Structure 1
Amino acid sequence: MHRILQHIFHAGRKNPPKAVLDAFVAQYGESLNIEWLKENENYEAVFYKENTEIIAIFSASGVLLEQKFNLDLSLVTPPVAAQASAVGELMNLIEIDRQGKIYYEIIARDGMLDRYSLLLEENGTVLEKRKL
């Protein structure tokens, strides 16, 4: 039974190869309490830096593919705030950096308390909207 529970709770966890670890340290420095996950062929690090939750996705060869920053709502940009207001109340703000191209993923709640996830370009253009 212990092995079954261990497998369930550690599924997807994987120690990354040296190239990924080296790339992580070069980008972010030494960090504590990094949670590593393996998604398909990529490695995902979840950690905190300066009170901001960051998710960094690396290829197996150590190329940084994407960074996600869980931002304080006070940091919302006007174009993103406008899209959130069109739905209702902004609940969550994630900045996504895909190799230099910036996107935002937000969760907003309408007056009926229905939540929506929106993926936006930096200028506020909606790329995807779905009800949660």
Structure 2
Amino acid sequence: MDFKNLFRKIFNDPQESLPSQTIIDAFNKQFDTPLNTEWNKTDQFYEAIFYKNELEHIAIYQTNGTYSCLKINLPLESIPATIYQAIKEHGEVMNAIKINYTDIQNFEFIVRDKNLIRYSLLLDAQGKILNKKIV
């Protein structure tokens, strides 16, 4: 049994969360003056969590350094009107995230209905619901 790797996983070795220099260079080239950048590693991606214009951003890169998307936590008052019209019938909006891919933009929301059941909604830029699931 490989106890070294087991303990790294249990105690979340900070070295394991650091991306390659290729990913760091791509991030620095893409984002000007990010604040408080923290890196997180998942099974397939590296996430750079940082602040810009007082909003939390999450830039996601594949392990080979390829940019995947950017998620931006939106203040609820900045949800586009067409998008808000599409989600308001599903309940109270708890959280809003704009997802920018290279060629498309989506929105992800957590909403709570009158029975206090929370849902995750994924919408395209025109307000069409792409996915809805209980969370």
Residues 38 and 44 in structure 1, CA contact (< 8 A), matched pair in contact too: yes
TM-score by length of 1: 0.85
TM-score by length of 2: 0.84
1:20 aligned partner: 23
1:60 aligned partner: 63
The more displaced of 11-20 and 86-95 is 11-20
Cα 1:78/1:9, change in 2 over 3 Å: farther
Query: How far did residue 122 of structure 1 move?
Result: 0.6
Superposed CA RMSD in Å reads 2.3
Aligned residue identity for 2:70: Q
1:75-126: CA deviation from partner (whole Å, max 9, x where unpaired): 1112221122111211111000111310000111111222111000110111
Aligned residue identity for 1:101: I
The more displaced of 49-58 and 39-48 is 39-48
2:37 aligned partner: 34
Cα 1:34/1:5, change in 2 over 3 Å: farther
Residues 1:110 and 2:109 are matched in the alignment: no
**Secondary structure of residue in 2 paired with 1:84:** helix
1:8 aligned partner: 10
Cα 1:61/1:5, change in 2 over 3 Å: closer
Instruction: Mark the runs of 5 or more structure 2 residues left unpaired by the alignment.
Output: 1-5
Report how many residues are paired: 130
1:41-93: CA deviation from partner (whole Å, max 9, x where unpaired): 42111111121111111123322111000000011112221122111211111
What is the CA–CA distance in structure 2 between the aligned matches of 1:11 and 1:108, rounded to whole Å? Answer: 34
Residues 119 and 133 in structure 2, CA contact (< 8 A), matched pair in contact too: yes
What is the CA–CA distance in structure 2 between the aligned matches of 1:45 and 1:121, rounded to whole Å? Answer: 24
Query: How far did residue 27 of structure 1 move?
Result: 1.1
Residues 35 and 52 in structure 2, CA contact (< 8 A), matched pair in contact too: no
